[in-house]
Amino acid sequence: MSGSAPDIAGGVGESRVKQAVASACLALLCVVWFTPVLALLVTSFRTEADASTSGWWSVLFAPRFVIENYVDAIRITGVGRSLVNSIAVAVPTTIGTVLISAIAAYSLAKMSFRGGVAVFLALVGLQVLPPQVVLVPMLKLANAVGINGTFVPVWIFEMGLTIPFGVFLLRGFFAGVPSELIESARIDGASELRIFLQIVLPLSGAVLASLAILQFLIAWNHLLTPLIFLGGTSGLAPLTVQVAGLVQTEGGGMSLLTAATFISIAVPLLIVIALQRYFVRGVLGGAVKG
């Protein structure tokens, strides 16, 4: 018994060392990940002459910042209008994806009907379909219907990319909801819609939030989809298209370009930082249940 105390102390010490090493590694990864973002932010507040003649780290020794880059980016290059367009693309897409995925996942997880397994397997198979395969058929359909050059085909295409994964994720979580709870509500006379809205959805906040975050980031960051369906129209161009155009037209305008770029990443960056715990909790909840 006397020899067990040093063993316990040694085990505690080893555990603390491992924890310290893991924390140091995570801190290093955070620094590596955040350094380019910090460099972009600092450069966006520097004058064109300073950004062209010295590295961004020189502000540590001679700090000098201006806000004209953001003013020019919003007023001259149309980044402010593109910001509104990006919101108009991402928000409806996110709402539609979460709503359709939740309804389909609940039907597959808690409602018995013929062909349900086949439908679920088909949705799982659609996750491996390259998006580029359906771009041309979708573009032809949008031209035939007369909706090309609007946000509608962008919404449809973006939702179609994520809904199969959304159904897969939410079905795994909904399958973990106790069936006894659902059956009790049915015996009490609750309709399927009421069960879905008042029982299932309130229990699924984290996984719904994770799907919403994922879809918002995908829709916000896509370049090819709005470029194809909106045709590069300046009045409808989201931030990704606008910034890509600045890369070609501004040439050496480093400060203006970095200001526009940081505006384009500010919204998804804030969402990831503020809601990351919900994203991780929701993805794990949908993955391990069912």
Same domain, 74 and 56: no
Provide the whole-model pTM: 0.81
Confidence at residue 96, expressed as pLDDT on a 0 to 100 scale: 95
Distance between CA atoms of 107 and 100, rounded to whole angstroms?
Answer: 11
User: In this structure, what are the phi and psi dihedrals at residue 75, rounded to the nearest 5 degrees?
Assistant: -85, -40
What's the pLDDT tens digit per position in 67-81?
888 888 887 777 888
Distance between CA atoms of 44 and 181, rounded to whole angstroms?
Answer: 54
Confidence at residue 94, expressed as pLDDT on a 0 to 100 scale: 94
Q: Is residue 247 part of a domain?
A: yes
Q: Is residue 65 part of a domain?
A: no
236 pLDDT higher than 70: yes
What's the pLDDT tens digit per position in 7-57?
555 555 677 778 888 888 988 888 888 888 888 888 888 887 777 777 788
Same domain, 101 and 240: yes
Same domain, 139 and 24: no
Q: Is residue 235 part of a domain?
A: yes
The pLDDT confidence band at residue 156, using thresholds 50, 70 and 90, is very high
What's the pLDDT tens digit per position in 177-225?
888 888 888 888 888 888 888 888 888 888 888 889 889 999 999 888 8
97 pLDDT higher than 90: yes
Q: Is residue 189 part of a domain?
A: yes
Same domain, 81 and 10: no
Domain of 244, CATH number, reads: 1.10.3720.10
The pLDDT confidence band at residue 274, using thresholds 50, 70 and 90, is confident
DSSP state string for 203-236: HTHHHHHHHHHHHHHHHHH-SHHHHHHSTT-TTT
Buried b (16+ CB within 10 A) or exposed e, 36-74: eeeebbbbbbbeeebbeeeebeebeeeeeeeeebbebbb
Q: How many domains does the chain have?
A: 2
Confidence at residue 270, expressed as pLDDT on a 0 to 100 scale: 86
Same domain, 166 and 27: no
Same domain, 46 and 116: no
Q: Report residue 41 as tokens.
A: 């932010």
140: burial class by Cβ within 10 Å (0-12, 13-18, 19+)? Answer: exposed
End-to-end distance of the chain based on CA atoms, in angstroms?
A: 45
Confidence at residue 234, expressed as pLDDT on a 0 to 100 scale: 67
113 pLDDT higher than 50: yes
Q: Which domain holds residue 24?
A: 4-60
Average pLDDT over residues 138-160: 89
288 pLDDT higher than 50: no
